[in-house]
Amino acid sequence: MEYKGYKAETHYEHDGGYFYGKIAGISDFILFDAETLPELEQVFHESVDAYLYNCEQLGIKPKVSQLEGAGMHIDKNNIDALESTTSHRIKYWNGDMP
């Protein structure tokens, strides 16, 4: 996924039955998750927009995504486990990733 020059690194959690991801290639740690792929794309867009808004409000220059090839990682064994639901959550952390 890509939006406004930012890329998402995304995964599927089989045991929990949800997708999760982070904005890739920046030192700020911004996570998001959702239970369907369309929701995941929506919350990724919301996360990028919120990141850019927060940077503007704090008077800091947003970091630019430096990662090439970020993408979706789903184990082939988990494909059958994907189901459509409606809830999503967004989590933000600011700081360097370990």
pLDDT digits (tens, 9 = 90+) for 9-32: 999 988 889 999 999 989 888 999
pTM flag (> 0.75): no
How far is CA 59 from each of CA 42, 54, 56, 91, rounded to the nearest angstrom? 26, 8, 5, 21
pLDDT tens sequence across 75-93: 444 434 443 333 334 343 4
- Find the mean pLDDT for residues 65-69: 58
Q: CA–CA separation, 46 vs 84, rounded Å?
A: 20
